[in-house]
């Protein structure tokens, strides 16, 4: 926060507090408090007159106590611009302290399951380990892959056996740890619009869709020239590159003719963030075990 805005926040905050305090004392009756009075302030609403009675003593004292509490709080904790407070408290510091405490408490629990292989964690005896992985999946992965891991537009379904980079336990763990960067270049400028539609016809035909056979034949020639480097001559994909299998009719961005032509014409760029700096190895191990279980039930 700049010095100007820090001063602005400080002045406004203190002005409001002291202004309310001045108003409180200014309107307080100087004479001895009375329980009631016949004096009115001259206001009448629907025949009801407003009497000029002072605030009850306890109510006035509560206001004063609130002002004192507010000033003490602002002295101890941040609230006046860039002033950090006498205690030096920060929300980040408290979060880090609580996280460190949680790590110390639960580290033995995670270590117990981390000593087991992902395959061993699939057994009924280790069901609680998978449940822990499920909860961490919900906290860290469900925003993209869905609470049940069924995916969404542009986010893979983790409950089937169709994997871009492989579904082996070690591969899943590597994916979560280091993330993935997938990209398909735009072929529209190379193929032209007619070429894009021809290749889309060929690709959709591989998945069993009814297409124009002449367009598919032309598209096959272009596919073999441009696409096999990633998807393979048989179009079954390449796990090392994350290039999808185009023959199984499973589509990350939709399998309609319009969706496939869009992918070919404009390309695609997918990215899964690395979690190695967000989660410990033990937690990643449990999440990987849960993800592995989704497609092996």
| Residue 99 counted as an annotated binding residue | no
Instruction: Judge whether 265 and 187 are in contact, CB under 8 Å.
Output: yes
| Residue 271 counted as an annotated binding residue | no
| Residue 20 counted as an annotated binding residue | no
| Residue 141 counted as an annotated binding residue | yes
Helix 188-206 and helix 213-226, axial crossing angle in degrees, nearest 10 = 120
| Residue 144 counted as an annotated binding residue | yes
Residue 287, number of CB atoms within 10 A of its CB: 25
State CA 137 to chain mean position distance: 12
What's the token pair of residue 267? 């390309």
| Residue 132 counted as an annotated binding residue | no
Instruction: Judge whether 185 and 225 are in contact, CB under 8 Å.
Output: no
State CA 222 to chain mean position distance: 40
How far apart (Å, rounded) are the C-alpha atoms in residues 291 and 137? 8
Residue 130, number of CB atoms within 10 A of its CB: 20
What are the backbone angles phi and psi of residue 113, rounded to the nearest 5°? -80, -25
Binding-site residues for heme c sit at 141, 144-145, 184, 227, 230-231, 272
């Amino acid at each position: 926060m700049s010095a100007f805005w820090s001063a602005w926040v400080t002045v406004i905050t203190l002005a409001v507090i002291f202004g309310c305090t001045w108003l409180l004392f200014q309107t307080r009756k100087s004479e001895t408090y009375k329980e009631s009075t016949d004096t009115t302030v001259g206001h009448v609403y629907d025949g009801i007159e407003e009497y000029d009675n002072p605030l009850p003593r306890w109510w006035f004292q509560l206001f004063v106590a609130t002002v004192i509490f507010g000033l003490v709080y602002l002295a101890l904790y941040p609230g006046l611009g860039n002033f950090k407070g006498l205690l030096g408290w920060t929300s980040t510091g408290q979060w880090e302290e609580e996280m460190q405490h949680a790590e110390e408490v639960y580290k033995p629990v995670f270590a117990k399951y981390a000593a087991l292989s992902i395959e061993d964690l699939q057994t009924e005896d280790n069901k609680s380990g998978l449940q822990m992985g499920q909860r961490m999946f919900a906290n860290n992965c469900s925003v993209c892959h869905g609470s049940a891991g069924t995916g969404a537009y542009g986010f893979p379904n983790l409950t089937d056996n169709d994997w871009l980079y492989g579904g082996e336990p070690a591969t899943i763990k590597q994916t979560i740890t280091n993330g993935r960067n997938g990209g398909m270049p735009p072929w529209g400028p190379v193929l032209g619009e007619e070429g894009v539609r021809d290749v889309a016809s060929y690709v959709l035909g591989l998945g069993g869709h009814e297409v124009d056979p002449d367009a598919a034949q032309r598209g096959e020639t272009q596919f073999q020239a441009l696409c096999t480097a990633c998807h393979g001559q048989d179009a079954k994909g390449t796990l090392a590159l994350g290039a999808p299998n185009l023959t199984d009719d499973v589509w990350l961005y939709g399998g309609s003719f319009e969706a496939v032509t869009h992918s070919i014409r404009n390309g695609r760029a997918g990215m899964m963030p690395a979690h190695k700096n967000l989660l410990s190895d033990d937690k990643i191990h449990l999440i990987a075990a849960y993800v592995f279980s989704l497609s092996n039930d």
